[in-house]
Amino acid sequence: MQSRRLPPIPPGPTGRLPTINHINDVNEPFPTRDALQAATKSHSQGNFTISARKLPISKAGAIDHLTEKIGIPMPEMIFGDNIVSILHRPSKWYFEFNTPDALDAVDKTDKHMLKVAYARDWESTREGTTQNIKEVVKPYDWSYSTTYAGTVGVAGQQQPQQQQQYDGPSSSEAASSPIVPQFLPTDKKIPVELLKRRDPILFFDEVVLYESELDDNGISMYSAKVRVHQQRMLILCRLFMRLDNVVVRLRDTRIYVDFETDEVMREYTAKEAKFDDVKRKLAMSGRLPDDITVVLRNPNELDPLLDVVQHQTEALCLK
């Protein structure tokens, strides 16, 4: 089917469009419905409608609103109205990746807090000072290593969206709501070989949700890519976090849809390795220093060098 611009998927229980950005008059806190629709590309295939929305970086007022709502400082670049979503039209079930929920899944304690390479030496000479700082400043994971794996719901229902994240051995929320179809663990695997075929791409987009340079100590970026073929589609939503001289992380959520069976699969894979171990592997492969610097910015090349620390595959059928 031909791609076309359609109104964005109703992404909430009331059909209201959740937005935090403002792109018109400086006194207008949120984009108009027309502005949202103009920024949204949609494509219908089988029983599904796939949408991607891209708008500019959120402005100060919107960032302040999100900071207050979530309770942690925001990264430097927030694309608060960007979204990638799929809607199963017969059942009105939807799945989406959105910025507020992704940031809300960042750890708000010091349980997973990382330190830059030079912080240990600094703290060792200022133990009293750093303890006082910790008592005043609310701790949070400033690397923005979200465990977010998407939001599910049924369009038009008067119930909260269900933000899904992986922060432990259990990742199924099947018991949390008897109304919204839920993912359940499965032994099935996403058919990678079918996705490798050179089938025509009917719809493609790439959307960044947020990005931080971690105070010039690396990068943390959360983004989504979607591609649609005649019989199937794939969304890859990826957290790429590199804290220089400390750690490299990838957290991938893949959503696979079979348009013939209406089956949806979700695969979550978390990988990481020590920064020095990654550099050592690159050096042993014969890469020159300048080339190593380039590779450290490329998550696709870093992927095979990292260790799997968590993996889960789930599925649901909407027929």
pLDDT in tens, 265-282: 999 999 999 999 999 999
The domain tally of the chain equals 1
Is 5 a domain residue?
Answer: no
Residue 256 resides in a domain: yes
Q: What percent of the chain has pLDDT over 70?
A: 76
Confidence of residue 217 (pLDDT cuts 50, 70, 90): very high
pLDDT at 42: 97
Give the model's pLDDT for residue 116. 63
Q: What is the mean pLDDT of residues 84-104?
A: 97
Residues 170-183 have a mean pLDDT of: 58
Contact 307, 273 (CB under 8 A): yes
Return the pLDDT at 250: 99
Q: Per the domain annotation, does 282 fall within a domain?
A: yes
**Cα–Cα distance, 206 to 274 (Å, whole number):** 28
Tell me the Cα Rg of the chain. Answer: 20
Q: Strand (E) positions, the chain?
A: 40-45, 48-53, 77-78, 83-88, 93-98, 148-154, 162-165, 184-185, 203-212, 218-228, 232-243, 247-258, 263-274, 307-317
Tell me, yes or no, whether 228 lies in a domain: yes
Q: Which residue has the higher pLDDT, 144 or 156?
A: 144
122: enclosing H helix or E strand: helix 119-124
Give the residue numbers spanning the domain of 56.
33-317
As a whole number, mean pLDDT of residues 57-67 equals 91
Residue 14 lies in a domain: no
Q: What is the structure's pLDDT at 84? A: 98
The predicted model scores a pTM of: 0.83
pLDDT band, residue 21 (cuts 50/70/90): very low
Confidence at residue 158, expressed as pLDDT on a 0 to 100 scale: 61
Q: What is the mean pLDDT of residues 231-253?
A: 97
Distance, CA of 108 to CA of 312 (rounded, Å): 24
Instruction: Say if residue 122's pLDDT is above 70.
Output: no
Average pLDDT over residues 99-117: 83
Residue 238 domain-assigned (yes or no)? yes
User: Is residue 223, in this structure, part of any structural domain at all?
Assistant: yes
Q: Where are the alpha helices (DSSP H) in 187-245?
A: 192-196
**24 pLDDT higher than 50:** no
**Confidence label for 179 from pLDDT (cuts 50, 70 and 90):** confident
- Distance of alpha carbon 86 from alpha carbon 73, whole angstroms: 30
Between 133-137, 148-152, 164-168, 234-238, the lowest mean confidence (pLDDT) is in 133-137
Tell me whether residue 7 is in a domain: no
Supply the pLDDT for residue 124.
Answer: 52
